[in-house]
Structure 1
């Protein structure tokens, strides 16, 4: 069970490696834990600015804080020994009480949005982490990001190169899914009710509804809204990397996967009515700079297909 004492110690950067790992694992275990930690961290950050001129009885402050945090429904009894090593932490709790009082009147946490238009966008976050956003991708990050590395993923494909900071996990919320890392590089795609996470370097923890799995280099997970569990697999292609490499590399992937990526890249609607054709493997490499029309021609030549237009929809079918 996670204790507030250990969270305070973690925020003070006084935890051992084992304790830091325990806290990071706990944060990644569920959205509720992440929520609690984010709130606790905000209280702690605010306390630094409030506590200097706020003389408080340490033991009573901690009791009041715990009652306030619990909604005041249950009395809390806790005795602190001022001569023990916890006296320092008790003093920190006094700061936290002052912060809690301020927190009740603070406005909800603000986020800054990063939005890519019709071009791929690279963004450097305040902690030194670098994001590469595909066209029309969007994500938001907390205004106090240096202390609270928390993001909300809206849509699109984004590649993350995260700055290493073991004391402050890098957390991305995607609806019910949470992705937690310390320092690593990985890709996330969130479109049409599906979330895909692919790890290039390091370790990424993905959690959903209390279930968690750990992804390492070359591993991925694909999560649909109707997915009951998290299942990881080996990543076997480089198609996901198109917005960084400017190449659509298809090495035996289903045609449907390639056309879905083209839909995202060119903001079009390519459909394959024949399910058997949609699952057919394709081997080709397309250049983004060649444009949609030329790349559709290459696909048709490769698989002996024809393309037809119906309003704003492109339909692919067999020639025979």
Structure 2
């Protein structure tokens, strides 16, 4: 990036293409910001040395531009030496770069008023301690972020996936989780939050959890759950019927009259599989306990024996259907 182009940008004389190029350059490398901050010191020093003048700054600058234009025309004539702009106007260069740096910094602060730390689980379940002593267990393919100053600002954003929270008690600093427009607020408790396919599920294991959406708030106690659809946007709590939600922590599938479509969805996530159900099976339920440590085929055999089903594979998908 040339000094001349930066000065043009400062004077708002750059073309749309040049402006885009400068903006990309500013965002391309954090080292640029470091260089700007170093130049800040130079700029502040130049302000202290700059003489006070009653002359109108805008008029003076316009006159200066006119003289600069005349001088450049004269220097292009035969017998005149052409000098680099940055040699003649180093002070202007410093001012331009400094203003650009401050502008970039202000834009960054406006766009990201709060700093958050990212935490994600890809193909493995991960357990992480947060700075306040709380513990989170992220299921595979889950991502969240938490405030960098977490001991005083215990706020978390769940972007996607499923997380079990074991919150350290701190009455003076409530623990708040944001999931789209949903807010989950606690002091010290343990609960599971799942956000997938525009649905958010909260299941409380211990303590009390306050769930809010669009001005409506409900309290959940141990053994209760709420399932929120993005389309309906209603908060309606109910008793949780099984412990299936905890499989990625306990490595055990605990089913109690669990709908087969729901369990199939969990199996697909747990084994990275593509199990499909024959539509005739959508109303079937299952009560049993299976181990995640067992191969998928083994668990499918047990399901088929219990429900008189069969499973077949085409290499990519597994189909569960009634036994003929």
Normalised by the shorter chain, which TM-score bucket? 0.5 to 0.7
Instruction: State the match for 1:55 in structure 2.
Output: none
2:300 corresponds to 1:296: yes
Instruction: State the match for 1:131 in structure 2.
Output: 136
Instruction: State the match for 2:146 in structure 1.
Output: 141
Instruction: State the match for 1:219 in structure 2.
Output: 224
Instruction: State the match for 1:238 in structure 2.
Output: 243
Q: Give the deviation of 1:308 after TM superposition.
A: 2.5
Q: Give the deviation of 1:235 after TM superposition.
A: 0.9
Name the Cα RMSD after superposition: 1.9
Number of equivalent positions: 218
Give the conservation status (yes or no) of the 8 Å contact 2:213–2:233: no
Q: Give the deviation of 1:119 after TM superposition.
A: 2.0
Instruction: State the match for 2:270 in structure 1.
Output: 265
Q: Give the deviation of 1:145 after TM superposition.
A: 1.1
Deviations 1:127-181 (A, max 9, x none): 0000111122211111111121111102222111101111111111111111111
Instruction: State the match for 1:46 in structure 2.
Output: none
Q: Matched residue of 1:289: which SS? A: coil
Give the conservation status (yes or no) of the 8 Å contact 1:284–1:302: no
5 Å-filtered alignment, 1:62-211, equals 106=109, 108=112, 109-211=114-216
> Cα–Cα, structure 1 residues 130 and 103, in superposed 2: closer, same or farther, change >3 Å?
farther
2:312 corresponds to 1:308: yes
Deviations 1:35-86 (A, max 9, x none): xxxxxxxxxxxxxxxxxxxxxxxxxxxxxxxxxxxxxxxxxxxxxxxxxxxx
Dislocated runs of 4+, deviation >6 Å: 102-105
The farther-off stretch of 110-119 and 308-317 is 308-317
Q: Give the deviation of 1:189 after TM superposition.
A: 1.2
> 2:233, 2:134 → 1: CA distance?
32
Q: Relative CO higher for 1 or 2, CA cutoff 8 Å, sep ≥ 6? A: 1
Deviations 1:165-202 (A, max 9, x none): 11111111111111111111101111122111011111
Q: Give the deviation of 1:267 after TM superposition.
A: 2.2
Unaligned runs of 5+ in 1: 1-101
Deviations 1:269-304 (A, max 9, x none): 222131x41221112211101122221222112211
Give the conservation status (yes or no) of the 8 Å contact 1:186–1:197: yes
Instruction: State the match for 1:317 in structure 2.
Output: 321
Identify the match of residue 289 of structure 2 among 259, 263, 285. 285
Q: Give the deviation of 1:105 after TM superposition.
A: 8.2
Q: Could you tell me the TM-score, scaled by structure 2's length? A: 0.64
> Cα–Cα, structure 1 residues 137 and 228, in superposed 2: closer, same or farther, change >3 Å?
closer
> 2:255, 2:287 → 1: CA distance?
5
Q: Matched residue of 1:230: which SS? A: coil
Deviations 1:103-144 (A, max 9, x none): 998452221111113222110000000011112221111111
Higher-Rg member (1/2): 2
